[in-house]
A and B are shown apart, each in its own frame.
Chain A
Amino acid sequence: MTDATAMLTTNDGQPLKAALARSQRRARRNALLLVAPLFLFVLITFVIPIGQMLSQSVYNNNFSVAAPNLGAWFDDHPQGSEIDETAFAALVADLQYMKEEKLSGSAGTRINYDISGSRSLFTGSARKVDDLTPPYAISVPALDEKWTDPNLWRAMRSASSPLTGDFYLAALDLTRDEAGVIVQVEPRQRVYKMLFGRTLMLSALITGICLVLAFPIAHLLATLPLAKSNLLMILVLLPFWTSLLVRTTSWIVLLQQQGVVNSLLVSLGIIGDDGRIQMIYNQMGTIIAMTHILLPFMVLPLYSVMRPIPPSYVRAARSLGASSWTAFRRIYLPQTVPGMAAGALLVFILSVGYYITPALVGGADGQLISNLIAFHMQKSLNWSLAAALAGLLLFGVLVLYWLYDKLVGIDNLKLG
């Protein structure tokens, strides 16, 4: 700043610089005030609930609140201590407490995540706790000899601290062995890594198919005169506006064994009546239906990148002696890369977290990681594990989202 600008003043004698700064500050504040209500709204109805849910993946106090005595005993006796009379006495005191506070179910459920059958052990023992007499080291195992299982005690020890990383270990097919070392679970129990792998693979496949299918029609739409291309665009936008469940239903109708496609193939004599193809309720159904549903998300970004490419570039290449293939490969294709990246990333992000279609048409081998989260939420009721799986999925999606923002920019997201 030179002295000359510093001396400039407004009508009422204030330095111009200060007045400008103040008015800019006010403009910034006004802009923020406009956004603030929505930001708060999204914070409360979206960000906080998800954060709260994620906290469940590392924090589960179902057992620790129900078993204060055992918690104290575990604090005093390090891992590997003998399970003696004092331990059983603490156990009986806690069972008593669980019975009074009706906590045996939730405490048992927490241990059940690690050792199946524990829930009934806890509820059953808590019900009969008044019959127990000292010495408990004899009477408790007499009630149910599962209580002497060292694995059970190890599970109770780890559950007695509410803060734990065990659910993330479980979500990655890892566990702790007797010495507390992290190891892989038995091969037949390794489901989650396989499911994450399958989700990524299917998403990549669907993204690839979408790209292959979207490229020609986006190119056609971009090169046709506007009136015609707007008309054809409706064919892309109508699926986009149609209910997901309607589209999924349609695919069930089309691909069923008694459905339209199979009947057509039979009547054309391509397959026999007994050779109807199973195209739905398996991985193939998931792939076909999801490709159909996500295709518009690929066509729209490709189209908006292709439309402004001047056709004269390709003509110039041709006039300089390039074959049509060379002109396409060297001139046209490189200019569409931003559109391909935008569409592919968007389709991939959306398909990684897909739930509805796999749940309805996926059968057994077409389930994705979202479906497993729903399973743990609704069926197995292992909410902490569901939260850990959701945490891993969310992390992956947010990384991709960040990448999308870096490469494409969220502002460039277009709908129709």
Chain B
Amino acid sequence: MALPVYASPLERAWHYTYLVLCGLIFLFLIAPILIVMPLSFNAEPYFTFTPKMLALNPEGYSLRWYDSLLTFGMQAPEGPRNVAWWSDFWNNARWMQVAKHSVIIGFFATLVATMLGTLAALGLSRPEMPFRRGIMAVLISPMIVPIIITATGLFFFYSKPCALLATVGLPGECGKLAGTYLGIILAHATLGIPFVIITVTATLVGFDQSLIRASASLGANPRTTFFRVVMPLILPGVISGALFAFVTSFDEVVVVLFVADFDQQTIPRQMWSGIREQISPAILAVATILVIISIALLATVELLRRRSERLRGVTPR
């Protein structure tokens, strides 16, 4: 945004003030995320920069919090770092455990959300779709309804998932979903669905429906058309939707708080206890790792978005 040549001195002054203001707001957005990175290498158990750190003295920095992160919960953290140590780490370290839970839950929740969500987005984007607005409103609502309400509902539902069947005369007992992987995966899939719907329908805007007819007229059956024509075009949107769904699950804590047992606790759940009980710089080490993961995810999504716009011939806004 260039300043016009006819700008008065006052306007010039305002323009630079405005730029400084914007800089400060960007700083407000980004500083809290970046600040945890250097602080996670603090050699002291403080949440502030020590004089040694400011002087860039190597003694002020250490990997001790990353070390405590690795060894927390291990049976023999002191031993030499050989195969036995690493297998102990893989099996017993608490953060490793919760990371595994997070990845398993996130993977399956993403799978369910992406498959069902993509299909639904295809249906919703058809011009013939009846009740489009109402159905869309229901499918997006998991994003809008306060998470505490969702979690509370699931808490009751998961303790007796078949209770409703009893009202129509079917057996009302079928175990429970609380404290199971399946329960959390289903819940996280539901929470991820709005994101898949939003990103995939956005990709389908401007999708040329005549391509489908062209493919059919050339003799392709609907399945071939879907996999060879539609899918390659919407794939970037589907992948970004999947990433959104994964991040939603990877970051979700309230449902896990309400319906998970110790055996399904995820990274955010473990962070939650860390923050609530005794916050130590080890939390900052986790935070740093998570920030790096989000940077990688964001970069992927941005690349996909550009690729998708190029593929569809949409000029960027």
Q: Which residues of A contact B (CB under 8 A)?
A: 24, 27-28, 30-35, 37-39, 41-43, 45-53, 56, 213, 216-217, 220, 223-224, 226, 230, 232, 234-239, 241-254, 256, 258-260, 263, 292, 295-296, 304, 307-308, 315, 318, 324, 349-350, 352-356, 360, 370, 373-374, 377, 383, 386-387, 390, 393-394, 397-398, 401, 405, 410-411, 413-416
CB of B144 within 8 A of CB of A401, answer yes
Q: Which residues of B contact A292 (CB under 8 A)?
A: 28-29, 32
In this complex, how many residues of chain B approach chain A with their Cβ under 8 Å: the count is 98
Instruction: Verify B275–A245 contact, CB threshold 8 A.
Output: yes
> B190 near A377 (CB under 8 angstroms)?
no
Are the C-beta atoms of A31 and B130 separated by less than 8 Å? Answer: yes
Among A256, A374, A397, A414, contact of B202 (Cβ-Cβ < 8 Å): A414
**Contact indicator A42/B271 (Cβ below 8 Å):** no
The reply to whether B146 and A394 contact each other, CB–CB distance below 8 Å, is: yes
B148 touches A370 (CB 8 A): yes
Q: Which one, B55-63, B74-82, B86-94, B282-290, is touching chain A?
A: B282-290
Q: What's the minimum C-beta distance from A313 to chain B, rounded to whole angstroms?
A: 14
Question: Contacts A34-B119, A216-B25, A260-B49 given; 9 further ones with Cβ under 8 A?
Answer: A28-B128, A42-B141, A50-B145, A51-B153, A234-B302, A246-B294, A249-B283, A252-B275, A356-B254
Which residues of chain B have a CB within 8 Å of any CB of chain A? 1, 4, 7, 11, 14, 18-19, 21-22, 25-26, 28-33, 35-36, 39, 46-49, 112, 116-117, 119-120, 122-124, 126, 128-130, 133, 135-142, 144-150, 152-158, 163-164, 186-187, 189-190, 193, 195, 198-199, 201-202, 244, 247, 250-251, 253-254, 258, 268, 271-272, 275-276, 279, 283-284, 287, 290-291, 294-295, 297-298, 301-302, 305, 316-317
In the assembled complex, the Cα of A355 lies from the Cα of B39 at a distance in Å of: 27
Q: Which residues of A contact B253 (CB under 8 A)?
A: 244-245, 356
Q: A308 — which chain B residues lie within 8 A by C-beta?
A: 317
> Could you tell me the distance in whole angstroms from the C-beta of A127 to the nearest C-beta in chain B?
27
CB closest chain-A residue, reference B188: A45
Pick the contact of A241: B156, B187, B298 (CB < 8 A).
B298
Cβ-neighbour of B11 out of A48, A216, A324, A360 (below 8 A): A324
A256 touches B47 (CB 8 A): yes
Contacts of B14 in A (CB 8 A): 324
What are 10 A-B residue pairs whose CB atoms fall within 8 Å in the complex? A49-B150, A53-B152, A53-B153, A235-B26, A241-B294, A243-B271, A260-B47, A260-B48, A260-B49, A401-B137
From B197, which residue of chain A is reached at the shortest CB distance? A38
Query: Are B22 and A216 in contact, CB atoms less than 8 angstroms apart?
Result: yes
Decide: B35 and A38 in contact? CB cutoff 8 A: no
B1 contacts A243, CB within 8 Å?
no
Given contacts A243-B294, A416-B305, contact A39 B135 (CB under 8 A): yes
Query: Known: A259-B48, A355-B147, A360-B275. Contact between A239 and B290, CB under 8 A?
Result: no
- B198 close to A33 (CB less than 8 A): no
Given known contacts A28-B129, A37-B119, A307-B317, is B35 in contact with A254 (CB within 8 Å)? yes
Q: A260-B49, A263-B48 are in contact. Are A42 and B145 (CB under 8 A)?
A: no
7 interchain residue pairs of minimum CB distance: A353-B146, A34-B123, A49-B157, A49-B153, A250-B32, A38-B120, A50-B153
- In the assembled complex, the CB of B51 is this many whole angstroms from the nearest CB of chain A, namely 10
The answer to whether A49 touches B138 (Cβ under 8 A) is no
Chain A: interface secondary structure? helix
Separation in Å of the A35 CB from the closest CB of chain B? 4
| Residue from B31, B123, B297 in contact with A33 in the complex, judged by beta carbons closer than 8 Å | B123
Given the contacts A238-B33, A249-B283, A295-B29, A353 and B148 also touching, CB distance less than 8 Å? yes
A47 to B142, CA, bound (A): 9
**Chain A positions within 8 Å of B153 at CB level:** 46, 49-53
Chain A residues within an 8 Å CB radius of B117: 38
Do B123 and A35 touch across chains, with their CB atoms under 8 A apart? yes
Contacts of A236 in B (CB 8 A): 29
B195 proximity list for chain A (CB < 8 A): 415
A296 nearest in chain B by CB position: B29
Chain A residues near B32 (CB-CB < 8 A) = 239, 247, 250-251, 254, 292
Q: Which residues of A contact B284 (CB under 8 A)?
A: 249, 253
The reply to whether A415 and B199 form a contact with Cβ atoms under 8 Å apart is yes
In angstroms, Cα B146 to Cα A292, docked, is 18
A394–B116 CA distance with the chains assembled, in angstroms? 26
Contacts of A239 in B (CB 8 A): 29-30, 32-33
Shortest CB distance A90–B (Å): 29
CB distance from A179 to the nearest CB of B (A): 34
Question: Shortest distance in angstroms between A397's beta carbon and chain B's nearest beta carbon?
Answer: 6
User: A223 contacts which chain B residues (CB < 8 A)?
Assistant: 1
Chain A residues with CB under 8 A of B33: 238-239, 242, 246-247, 250
